[in-house]
Copies of this chain bind each other. A is one copy, B any other.
Amino acid sequence: MDAAGVGMVDGRKPADRVSITYLEAIREAQNKALREDPAVFLYGQDIATFGGAFKATKNLAKEFPGRVLDSPISEDAMLGMAVGAAIDGMRPIVEMQFADFSSIAFNQIINQAATHYWRTGVPCPLVVRLPSGGTSGSGPFHSQNMESLYAHYPGLVVLTPATVGDAYWMLLEAITLNDPVIFCEHKFLYYHLKADSLPEERLPIGKARIMRGGRHATVVTYSAMLHEALAAANELARDGFEIEVVDLRSVKPLDTDTILASVARTGRLLAVGESFPWGGVTAEVVSRIAMEGFHLLDAPPRRLNCKDTPIPYHPNLWAVHRPTAATIESSIRDLLKQ
């Protein structure tokens, strides 16, 4: 896929627009993919005329007739169908209405899609878009972060974009990969996160990004938590602490080298994730750095996750269930004291 359409949104130059949201970037990436690759098609509940529960496919059915299809409420078959199309040369993008419903497609994802290339030598290029993560009032079944589950299984690439540019470029790159990709979009960022335009440079999948340089401690995070971490770092900067913030971008593969290099500079590590505390991304990050960067650490590494309960519905509870800028800040302060 070339970069011809860079910066074009809805056919207009970014100059014509005030800004582009994270959600629009996802829509635009799908638009571009549909335009440039006839093998791409979209499948999901309510994604055609309606444009999807979050409008991530708005207008695409009209622009690409017959290539954006409403599916029945059959997540298992949706994924099985995508696998069949993928191994026959298509590049399906499947939208789960909410990441949480991918639990129904779980078997087809981990056992069918993820094992296919290794078992048969035939690639299975598909993208599963998971509207992920907590938003206030969404409750236990419309708020989950499932990246840690999918990253556990061999054969999947698991992406967790945190910026408008990454949402765009990583989705486009994901579509070109010859492997099944779990694309975890964060719903909290859909409308809130805006950029002036789509960046022209991109970082390839598999590379983490240092979002903010620092020398007192490293915070490793991804997706919506990146923005909480950046806010915490801002706050700490007032007191003279320079916190380095690493955005993982992809949790599988996980760019250990970039984290190690950062910890080599700062000597301190906090891993922050929004998913459940047992296992998952923060465990993987902390254990890798403990193994490979033990002597770089000046203090015990730390983790911050959401609480070990289902995700609460009421905003009062939800607000303290997941990590926030405030809890990240306080965890960093403790880390700096050690």
Surface stretch bound by B, among A35-43, A107-115, A128-136, A194-202: A107-115
B118 touches A110 (CB 8 A): no
The distance in angstroms between the C-alpha atoms of A254 and B279, with both chains bound, is 11
**Contact of A152 (CB < 8 Å), options: B279, B303, B309:** B279
Contact with B along A141-152 (1 / 0, CB 8 A): 100000011011
The docked-state distance in angstroms from the alpha carbon of A83 to that of B282 is: 31
Task: Tell me the minimal C-beta distance from A293 to chain B in angstroms.
Answer: 8
Q: How far is the CB of A78 from chain B (nearest CB, A)?
A: 14
A336 within 8 A of B: no
| Closest residue of B by beta carbon distance from A310 | B115
Assuming the contacts A252-B278, A280-B279, A284-B278, asked whether A309 and B155 have C-beta atoms less than 8 A apart, the reply is yes
In the complex, identify which listed stretch (A84-92, A179-187, A205-213, A294-302) lies at the interface while the others stay far away.
Answer: A294-302
A114, A148, A252, A301: most-surrounded residue (chain B CB, <10 A): A148
**Contact A300/B292 with A140-B115, A279-B279, A279-B283 known, Cβ cut-off 8 Å:** yes
Contact B154 A310 (CB under 8 A): yes
* One of A16-24, A48-56, A98-106, A169-177 at the interface: A98-106
Task: Determine if A64 is an interface residue (Cβ-Cβ < 8 Å).
Answer: no
Contact yes or no, A151 B118, CB < 8 A: no
Interface band, chain A: 35 or more
Chain B residues near A151: list those with CB within 8 A: 278-279
Given A154-B309, A283-B284, A300-B292, A119 contacting B140 (CB threshold 8 A)? yes
- In chain B, what residue has the closest Cβ to A285? B287
User: Is A8 an interface residue, CB under 8 A from the partner?
Assistant: no
Q: Which residues of B contact A294 (CB under 8 A)?
A: 297, 299-301
How many Å from the CB of A303 to the closest CB on chain B? 6
Could you say which residues of chain B place their CB within 8 Å of the CB of A149?
Answer: 149, 152
A276 to chain B, nearest CB (A): 5
B residues less than 8 Å from A107 (CB atoms): 103-104, 106
Q: Which residues of B contact A103 (CB under 8 A)?
A: 106-107, 110-111
Chain B's closest residue to A108 (CB) is: B103
Closest to A110 in B: B103
Q: Is A291's CB within 8 Å of the partner chain B? A: yes
| Seed contacts A111-B140, A118-B309, A154-B308; 12 additional CB < 8 Å A-B pairs | A100-B111, A152-B280, A153-B276, A154-B278, A155-B309, A286-B287, A287-B287, A291-B301, A291-B302, A294-B297, A294-B299, A295-B300
20 cross-chain CB contacts under 8 A:
A100-B111, A106-B107, A111-B141, A115-B140, A115-B310, A149-B149, A152-B275, A154-B307, A154-B309, A154-B310, A155-B309, A155-B310, A254-B278, A279-B281, A282-B287, A285-B287, A286-B287, A287-B287, A290-B290, A290-B301
In order of increasing CB-CB distance, the 8 nearest A-B pairs are A290-B290, A294-B300, A286-B287, A103-B107, A283-B283, A287-B287, A283-B287, A115-B310
